[in-house]
Structure formats: C-alpha cells, structure tokens
C-alpha cells in the first residue's frame, strides 16, 4: 500500500503509534549509518534514501527525473518493510546479509528480491541494519548500478 504523503514527516504522522515508533527508530538507524551523500525523501510511496541528482545527474533509468533509489522503508498492513536495492544487485552483499541475519535474529529471514519484511517490531535487527546501511557509499552504489545496467544492455 503506497502512501500519498508528500513529506517524510507527513508519512510518519499518518501511521499508528506503534508503527510510528518503529519507522522512526528504523529511519534513525539509517540516518545515523548511511554514508554521507544519500538524501531522505518520499519515494514510491515510502520513505526513500536516494542518490540525489547533484551526485548522479542521470537519475533512475526508468524515469531520469527521479533520483537513483537505494533504500526504502515502509509500513504495510502486516509488516514493516525495508527495500534495499543493493541486496538485489550485489550478490556478495546479499550473501553477507543472509549469513549475518541468524546471528542477529531468532526469527527466520522473510525476504524477497531486496525486500526484507518484519512482522514484529521487537524482532527487527537494528544493529545488523545499521551495518548494512554503512556498507555502500553513494559512489559505490552508483558503480554497482552502472555495472548492472551495462550487463543488462550487453545481454549478460
């Protein structure tokens, strides 16, 4: 379910109190640990952490008017979600995360392609997510993104 909120504060204010606290804590972790250069804004109806046009003027390939997405955080009906595009495009990062997850959580990993779902707020491994957030700089993310775009264009 995508929000129509125009600002991050409006998005958070629209949530139920329990989700508000969870999303605030998750965003605080990301704000504290993401390397300098990422921007926080509404993106795809969720809170997004993006590479702004000032650092990557080409923007997102499907819509160059949008900044390059990296991480999105959202509140869905039955869970809190963290979308990390780097996990989808960087196998080494995905392998690291999947290997580390059991060390930080007693629950099994509920994950799709770069989408991590948390059904209970008290089971969110904030320390692990802080480590994950710190793993890629905007420049590192741009490099991975461009490598994947070239591979797709060349049919690899």
Asked if 8 contacts 19 with a C-beta cutoff of 8 angstroms, the reply is no
pLDDT of residue 1: 59
Average pLDDT estimate for 61-72? 95
Average pLDDT estimate for 89-117? 95
Average pLDDT estimate for 4-16? 91
CA 106 to chain centre: 22
Q: In 103-132, which positions are buried (b, 16+ CB within 10 angstroms) versus exposed (e)?
A: eeeeeeeebeebbbebeeeeebbeebbeeb
Q: How would you classify the pairing of strands 39-43 and 80-84?
A: unpaired
Average pLDDT estimate for 99-125? 95
Please write the tens of the pLDDT for every residue from 17-48: 999 999 999 999 999 999 999 999 999 999 99
Q: How far is CA 94 from CA 4, 70, 81, 135, in A?
A: 31, 14, 16, 11
Cα-based torsion angle of the residue sequence 121, 126, 129, 131 in order, rounded to the nearest 10 degrees: -170
- pLDDT > 70? residue 156: no
The token pair that represents 79 in the structure block = 């869970």
Q: State the residue for tokens 């998750």.
A: 26
């Amino acid at each position: 379910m995508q929000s129509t909120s125009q600002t991050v504060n409006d998005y958070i204010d629209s949530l139920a109190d329990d989700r508000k606290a969870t999303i605030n804590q998750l965003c605080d972790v990301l704000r504290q640990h993401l390397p300098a250069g990422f921007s926080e804004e509404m993106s795809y109806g969720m809170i997004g952490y993006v590479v702004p046009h000032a650092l990557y003027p080409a923007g997102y390939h499907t819509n160059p008017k949008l900044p390059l997405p990296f991480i999105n955080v959202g509140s869905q009906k039955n869970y809190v979600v963290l979308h990390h595009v780097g996990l989808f495009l960087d196998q080494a990062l995905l392998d690291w995360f999947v290997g580390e997850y059991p060390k930080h959580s007693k629950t099994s990993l509920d994950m799709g392609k770069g989408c991590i779902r948390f059904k209970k707020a008290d089971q969110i491994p904030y320390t692990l997510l802080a480590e994950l957030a710190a793993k890629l700089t905007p420049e590192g993310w741009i490099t991975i993104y461009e490598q994947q775009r070239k591979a797709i264009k060349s049919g690899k």
